[in-house]
């Protein structure tokens, strides 16, 4: 039987790493799967394209925020000339495209395992209040604003300092009202309205990763506490935990919303309180940590997507430590030149 060719994006393993390398490692380490990893890169300097012991072949693809037809044509070119059975998109900006064109890709033999567009829109920070209520967790005091006047009032009502967030992307801490106004203007110029003003709560940063089957059941679940993060907010060290309130909330999330595909809930644990901060509708960059403690969710996703038997999940142990580190890779220019000239690795 031929290897299953899996397209994986987000293979930029730099200071702001994508989840793609973790996804690829997880698939390769599943003993009962024969996979070939096809890297989908946006730049010839993404480190993943040079990691040939993990990524078998890479292609440069256009940005999905540009021409959807060009992006689709590139994927179909890869399918025809190399083979592509499944794509696991790992970046937020790609998901609207893959959700919209899921049926067309499937008609060409390229499978995906994604939430619906309605489910995807739950990630909007202006919708987290409804979600938090339904899954039984708290939400920091939050105001949705569309003008400087409503921003100023929100800051007064919540009290400084506050977080000023785009409805989908980026967040800034503001210690003064004037600083909040500056962040508001920057977010509106880049992402549009609305903007969210949110109370800052103190406590432990805790996250849970899961995989929903689209029918209300989880195909894996792992919770962690961040011990240290980079200046960009990416986890550097962490430990597995069993925060039962957070794990129960993740189970309710999958059940209540019939979630299909990977997800991550970012929370703050403060005493007896658990606050929901973010919903990420994809695998996080620390995904491989979950695989290493016994929950190989990319492998579960592949099996579910291709109608293969799904392995039972046996939970995980608390107290496992995760440490990220840097690594130097030395190669020659042939791969870079091939990517630059032909848009694919040799």
Element (DSSP H or E) covering residue 144:
strand 142-145
pLDDT of residue 1: 64
| CATH code, 144-194 | 3.30.1490
The helix or strand, by DSSP H or E, that contains position 265, with its residue range, turns out to be strand 260-270
Q: In the prediction, which pLDDT does 138 show?
A: 96
Contact 57, 39 (CB under 8 A): yes
Q: Where in the chain is the domain with CATH 3.30.470.20?
A: 202-323
SS3 34: coil
d(CA 90, CA 188): 25
Predicted confidence pLDDT, tens digits, the chain (346 residues): 689 999 999 999 888 899 999 999 999 999 999 999 999 999 999 999 999 999 999 999 999 888 999 999 999 999 999 999 999 999 999 999 999 999 999 999 999 999 999 999 999 888 899 999 999 999 999 999 999 999 999 999 999 999 999 887 788 999 999 999 999 999 999 889 999 999 999 999 999 999 999 999 999 999 999 999 988 788 999 999 999 999 999 999 999 999 999 999 999 999 889 999 999 999 999 999 999 999 999 999 999 999 999 977 778 999 999 999 988 999 999 999 999 999 999 9
**Tokens, residue 69:** 């037809």
* H/E element, 5: strand 4-8
- Measuring CA to CA, how many Å separate 291 from each of 44, 108, 236, 264, 298? 28, 30, 17, 14, 8
Q: Count each helix (H run) and each strand (E run) in the chain, helices first.
A: 12, 14
In CATH terms, the fold of domain 202-323 is D-amino Acid Aminotransferase; Chain A, domain 1 (3.30.470)
First to last CA, the chain: 24
* Cβ atoms of 75 and 84 closer than 8 Å: yes
Q: Residue holding tokens 């200071």?
A: 15
Place of tokens 């440069």: 60
- 4-114+328-342 adopts what CATH topology? Rossmann fold (3.40.50)
List, by residue range, all CATH 3.30.1490 domains of the chain.
144-194
Question: Any idea which residue has 């032909």 for tokens?
Answer: 342
Task: In the chain, list all ranges with CATH 3.40.50.20.
Answer: 4-114+328-342
């Amino acid at each position: 039987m031929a290897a299953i060719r899996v397209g994986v994006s987000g293979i930029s393993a730099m200071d702001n790493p994508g989840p793609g390398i973790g996804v690829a490692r997880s698939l390769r380490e599943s003993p009962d799967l024969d996979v070939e990893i096809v890297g989908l890169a946006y730049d010839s300097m993404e480190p993943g394209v040079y990691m040939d012991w993990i990524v078998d072949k890479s292609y440069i693809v256009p940005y999905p925020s540009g021409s959807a037809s060009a992006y689709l044509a590139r994927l179909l070119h890869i399918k025809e000339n190399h083979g592509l059975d499944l794509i696991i998109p790992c970046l937020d900006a790609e998901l609207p495209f893959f959700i919209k064109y899921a049926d067309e890709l499937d008609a060409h033999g390229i499978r995906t395992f994604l939430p619906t567009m309605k489910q995807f829109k739950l990630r909007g920070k202006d919708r987290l209040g409804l979600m938090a209520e339904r899954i039984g967790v708290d939400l920091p005091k939050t105001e949705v604003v569309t003008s400087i006047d409503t921003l100023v009032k929100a800051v007064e009502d919540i009290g400084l300092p506050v977080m000023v967030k785009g409805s989908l992307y980026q967040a800034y801490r503001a210690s003064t009202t004037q600083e909040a106004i500056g962040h508001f203007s920057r977010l509106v110029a880049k992402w549009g309205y609305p903007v969210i003003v949110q109370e800052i709560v103190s406590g432990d940063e805790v996250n849970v990763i899961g995989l929903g089957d689209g029918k209300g059941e989880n195909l894996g679940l792992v919770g962690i506490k961040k011990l240290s993060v980079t200046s960009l907010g990416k986890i550097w060290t962490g430990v597995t935990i069993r925060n039962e309130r957070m794990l129960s909330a993740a189970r309710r999330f999958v059940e209540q919303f019939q979630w299909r595909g990977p997800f991550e809930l970012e929370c703050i644990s403060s005493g007896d309180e658990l606050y929901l901060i973010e919903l990420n509708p994809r695998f996080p960059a620390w995904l491989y940590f979950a695989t290493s403690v016994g929950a190989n969710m990319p492998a579960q996703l592949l099996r579910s997507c291709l109608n293969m038997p799904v392995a039972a999940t046996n939970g995980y142990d608390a107290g496992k430590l995760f440490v990220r580190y840097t690594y130097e890779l030395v190669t020659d220019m042939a791969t870079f030149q091939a990517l630059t000239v032909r848009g694919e690795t040799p």
